[in-house]
Structure 1
């Protein structure tokens, strides 16, 4: 490591503000008051979204502050895009001299060491002293800090561009789907016929999911028998959380099942390019597999074959717009529909000429989304590989010619 790097306690370079939650009667979801962040639940990818606001402001993280969850779990990081009220599960950090985004990446590179400080038998947590006395190593030269920041920010900007592109592409596909396959206002009355679910165009009809696809449900081996699971090897095993963290296509999962587990518990293998749907706890999350995978028992998969009247893109958009509230009921514990109900979900099948008219367009849009997700994954791996090397001095940025503008 260069002699121009220094190891310091965090309190010497940053001010730390611990959150304090207002009373619950001052929470609201109607945009009154200041955005309120209780924990990492609404952190999002890099910038937080807000479900709650408060008119009783206790502690504030100023715009551009680094946000960090300090309990259950510890160490999730974010950046405030505006002044926000922070609750007891969050702290705000601001550089005394320098760029807060550099502090964000500095903490991101060292967060595993900070997590080791957490305590608590029920909820892991860290306190203000843990944070302030945490030691970090950084370059003394502010220009070197800025070079590191520029490299990492440029990668993250490219990732955000690809994510925004995919949001827009899916919105375009969704808008076309709604106009052509859900909204029949432009049809003449004589061109519509009655169905069990309202008026539909002539030559269109409803089929249940199990009539147009091979429907299967995933499975979870006994959790206490940890040897059936792996974080690195085996067959990818999709959870509802994985569906939430993925985009339209699923490339990565947090866990794998061993081949032995798949054989012993008869876990269904899902082919590539299969639409999958969560139907327990969080109902309605969707994804499309990118290789052979498995899922837990809260996720159903719909294998289409060459005889199916619809494409995977049509099925994805149809299920994305489906009202699942009509299928099940809500309890105090969780919202769910069972596998029998899933198999009987009614699918509107348009006449073939109408489907063929938009088949290639939908395929092209989804292929572009998939390509962008591959780019996101590659850039994310590049950033995560460079981050510790840049933040440890293994890569000497003083010899890199960066355009700091």
Structure 2
């Protein structure tokens, strides 16, 4: 069956978002940020950003089930036309001024169906064709409303949405498990090594704030910094390159494939299982991760400091160098306003307190399985996303009948 093509203007009205000064943010009512519109296919269950708005603004910039939000302007073409969809009403919430709201004027569309369609390469390509590049990429209301979308029968939309949602439900479940495991490891680290409520603490004296028997030293004494790099004997012609922009908050988000001779000049660092990578540029962005089971041809940018455990388990090292205290230390060490960065020496000179080996080993025996499980769950998420994204255009084009 051939699907009807319908202009967005026959399905939605369009409205620009709320523009407020910085002083209005941080308190007040729920707010849909540009970041969520850009990163999330569907609005999360709860909005944590807040903005001070009056009743008139809450009514004018409201968020209701079926609303579509699209980034209308950006610094780059790639950030234009990203979308998210509301699957429920969000009382008193408003949305960002750099986005447009499409509010349905018909019941022809299943919200999940349109949410998936707007993320297809086909529709993203239409945005690229219509966008205007001046000092910023932008999109006019007329151009937006003139775009066409396929409208299969409503039951077909529901079946397509259900198939794709099954992948997203599994992804979300894995993400929840990862969050719980991360919190468990960090909570145990804080209890034992920050609050000093470790096993047997009742029988240990505290001297100058440090338990008796613990060693005070520099990070370089327990971890090697940038110990392994590509040399002339490197055996692989093709590499997986990871740069700082591909790493955030404990996650390696993507790898770029290169022939070695064509790889960026910064592709030099190599790692081993359990190493910690830490982005040295703008440390406030938290471009760090634990590397487990690396591919044999993974190569990291010289923008990372690679920390290899020498005298402590890698689980302890990772938890130690991802605390808020350590991030704050690096931020305070940065030089340069336009390109704030730290150097390997700043990692080497960080002061650490090292517990006795029996306590370190107990901690590692408990937390290493957490980190291994996080690794495998992350791999599953990547596989699920790839499968969903391969299936998406085939379902949306009618190539696969449902």
Cα shift at 1:120: 1.7
Q: What does residue 402 of structure 1 align with?
A: none
Note the 1:279-358 alignment, pairs <5 A. Answer: 279-283=280-284, 284-289=286-291, 290-291=294-295, 292-304=297-309, 308-323=310-325, 324-327=327-330, 328=332, 333=338, 335-358=340-363
Residue 14 to residue 287, structure 1, CA distance change in 2 (3 Å) = same
Deviates more, 1:258-267 or 1:76-85: 258-267
What residue number does 1:94 align with? Answer: 103
Task: Please give the residue correspondences for 1:129-140 in structure 2 after superposition, counting only pairs within 5 Å.
Answer: 129-139=142-152
Report the Cα distance in structure 2 between the residues aligned to 1:296 and 1:112, rounded to whole angstroms: 31
Offset at residue 369 of structure 1 (A): 0.9
Q: What is the aligned partner in structure 2 of residue 177 from structure 1?
A: 189
1:390 to partner: Cα distance:
0.5
SS where residue 154 of structure 1 aligns?
Answer: helix
Shift in CA distance, 261/120, structure 1 to aligned 2, threshold 3 Å: closer
The CA deviation at 1:77 is 1.9
Partner of 1:115: 128
Match of 2:68 in 1: 66
Deviation per residue, 1:34-57 (Å, 9 max, x gap): 5253x3377554436554413252
Give the drift of 1:340. Answer: 1.5
Equivalent pair of 1:36/1:86 in contact (CA under 8 Å):
yes
**Aligned residue number for residue 390 of structure 1:** 395
Give the superposition deviation at 1:28: 2.1
**Distance in 2, Cα, partners of 1:380 & 1:263:** 27
How far 1:11 sits from its partner (Å)? 1.6
Would the alpha carbon gap of residues 251 and 89 (structure 1) be closer, same or farther in structure 2, given more than 3 Å must change? Answer: closer
1:276 matches 2:277: yes
How far apart are residue 388 of structure 1 and its match?
0.4
- Whether 1:241 and 2:245 are equivalent positions in the alignment is yes
Q: Which residue of 1 aligns with 2:165?
A: 153
Task: Say whether the 8 Å CA contact 1:275–1:286 is kept in structure 2.
Answer: yes
- For structure 2, list consecutive stretches of 5 or more residues without a partner in the other structure: 230-236
Unaligned runs of 5+ in 1: 220-232, 398-405
What TM-score results when the alignment is normalised by the length of structure 2? 0.82
Distance in 2 (alpha carbons) for counterparts of 1:130 and 1:318: 51
Residue 191 in structure 1 maps to residue 205 in structure 2: yes
TM-score by length of 1: 0.81
For 1:167 and 1:381, the matched residues in 2 are separated by 21
Contact 1:36 1:85 in 2 (8 A): yes
Alpha carbons 1:173, 1:365 under 8 Å: kept: yes
1:127 corresponds, among 140, 147, 155, to 140
- Residue 264 of structure 1, CA deviation: 6.6
CA contact (8 A) 1:279 1:300 kept: yes
Task: Give 1:385 deviation, angstroms.
Answer: 0.7
Question: What does residue 259 of structure 1 align with?
Answer: 260
Deviation string 1:324-358 (CA, Å, 9 cap, x unpaired) is 32352577546543321122222332111111112
Q: Could you report, residue by residue, the CA deviation over 1:90-132 in whole angstroms, capped at 9, with x for unpaired residues?
A: 0122332132222111111222322221112321111111111
Instruction: Return closer, same or farther for 1:369/1:277 CA change in 2, 3 Å cut-off.
Output: same
CA distance in 1, matches of 2:40, 2:118: 16
Of stretches 45-54 and 173-182 in structure 1, the one that deviates more from structure 2 is 45-54
1:168-187, Cα deviation, whole Å (9 max, x unpaired) = 11101111111112212674
Task: Classify 1:190/1:148 alpha carbon distance in 2 versus 1 (closer, same or farther; 3 Å).
Answer: closer
1:208 maps to what in 2? 218
Provide the alpha-carbon RMSD of the alignment. Answer: 2.9
Aligned partners of 1:188 and 1:126: how far apart in 2?
Answer: 65
- Counterpart Cα distance in 2 of 1:264 and 1:121: 32
SS of 1:116's equivalent?
Answer: helix
Task: Please give the alpha-carbon distance, in whole angstroms, between the structure 1 residues aligned to 2:279 and 2:22.
Answer: 33
Contact 2:24 2:51 in 1 (8 A): yes
Q: What are the equivalent positions in structure 2 for 1:362-381 lying under 5 Å apart?
A: 362-381=367-386
